Amino acid sequence: MTAGEPSARPVWRAAGAVSSLAAAGLLGAATGVCVALFLWLLRVVTEVFWQFPDLLYLLPLAGLISGLLYQWAGRGVERGNRLIFEQIRNQEGVVPLRMAPLVLAGTLLTHLCGGSAGREGTAVQIGGSLAGGLGRWLRFSGTRRQTLLQSGLAGGFGAVFGTPLAGIVYACEAPQTGCWRLQALGPCAAAAVVGHLTATVCGTTHADYSIAGVTEFSVRTWLQLHGLLLPAGLAFVLAGRLYVGLSESVGAVLTRHVRRSWLRPVCGGLVLVLLVSSTGQTEALGLGADGNPGQPQLTSLATVFSSGGAGWWSWWWKLIFTAVTVGSGLRGGEVTPLFYIGATLGHSLSRLLDLPVALLSGLGFVTVFGAALRVPATSLVLGLELFGWRDAGLWTGLMVMLLVQ
């Protein structure tokens, strides 16, 4: 009996499925280790910046070093996430392995000097570049490379946020292939779960954002929430779209007026230094996830879920600073800043709408992210995975947010 005979085909398909799952598990483990190392290094450079805030004035130099690194060794990988999504859509799966060390170095330089960037883009690019290298080593081709690349996205996202379910959905939704590939769900699940568990074993911890018990279910509460959450949801979506438009405008202006791509991050660094010097705003610098022990009064994701934990315009300054950072080509993700923008906007809206601070901050947290990256399903699953499954108001709010996106 040959492999081409009908009775042999199920065996070969089963063998292919098993090998894809095994490869995805291996990829998840490697991604988890690398993401754990990245998060530890990120914590180190963040603490260095907290101790020496004048490092901000070296941000243009950090941008120059990062720009020259990509000019010298990063040809073909400078588009980051967009390159990975393009390779998935084209069923090619060709992502150079050098993307991982380049984005790691660039992101650490950005955060060392206070740039307003995130970490998801770095983790996803680490997973994607490892997937590209593993696919070449295993001599995968076509849809199997495509599936492995999606698994890299799932592993990176699941490991960096501790949310494997959201990682699976993100890997299927973010590339915007037009339809979800069901055959990718198993490998994506393997990579996301293994990546998360591996990062946890390596010592990675994640903040607890659970908001159970904020609201109790009743028909009256349900109707009131629907009426009040619709305008809040529209505000979150507009904020997400505003961020995207501003970030793209920054990139377009710099592309038009600064011909040398390696100089654009320098310009972004200079603009941020001028913004801080002229406004005195410093709380929008950095990742924004954890509070600075030396300045506990500053807004962060650690404070925003409590009354008085954010200013009226905290979201606006973070939006501006992040759009300049990311739009100019300084390396790092944008998801955690989007969390910050949404959560602080929700904090402000909770005062206007007289709704629980934790509920509005949580809904803004995921909705601005979902609207900006056009991943509404991911934002729904992420909200449930981060905030818990037991609060009736959260369920209602997430459904409304999904509707407005």
For residues 132-151, give the mean pLDDT. Answer: 90
pLDDT of residue 1: 44
> Does 397 have pLDDT greater than 80?
no
The residue written with tokens 């979506």 in the block is 237
Determine contact, residues 239/341, Cβ cutoff 8 Å.
Answer: yes
Query: So what's the pLDDT on residue 274?
Result: 97
Does residue 7 have a pLDDT over 60? no
CB 153 within 8 A of CB 124: yes
Backbone angles phi, psi at 245, to 5 degrees: -60, -40
Least confident of 12-16, 258-262, 294-298, 377-381: 12-16
Average pLDDT on 247-252 reads: 97
- CA dist 51 and 166 (Å) reads 34
Question: In this prediction, what percent of the chain has a pLDDT beyond 70?
Answer: 90
Question: Which residue has better confidence, 268 or 90?
Answer: 268
Query: Cα–Cα distance between 90 and 145 in angstroms, integer?
Result: 11
- Please give the pLDDT value at position 83: 93
Q: Which two tokens stand for residue 220?
A: 């009256």
Distances (CA, A) of 335 to 54, 185, 307, 315: 25, 23, 24, 14
Q: Which two tokens stand for residue 289?
A: 């996830």
Whether 289 has a pLDDT exceeding 60, the answer reads yes
**How is residue 308 written in tokens?**
């008085």
Write down all domains in the chain, each with its CATH number in brackets. Answer: 12-201 (1.10.3080.10), 219-404 (1.10.3080.10)
When pLDDT is averaged across residues 297-326 and rounded to a whole number, the result is 93
CA angle, 320 then 321 then 326, to 5°: 100
Tokens of 226: 């629907």
Its pTM stands at: 0.93
| pLDDT value of residue 290 | 86
Q: Which tens digit of pLDDT belongs to each residue from 25-70?
A: 999 999 999 999 999 999 999 999 999 999 999 999 999 999 999 9
- pLDDT tens digits, one per residue of 163-200: 999 999 999 999 976 667 778 899 999 999 999 999 99
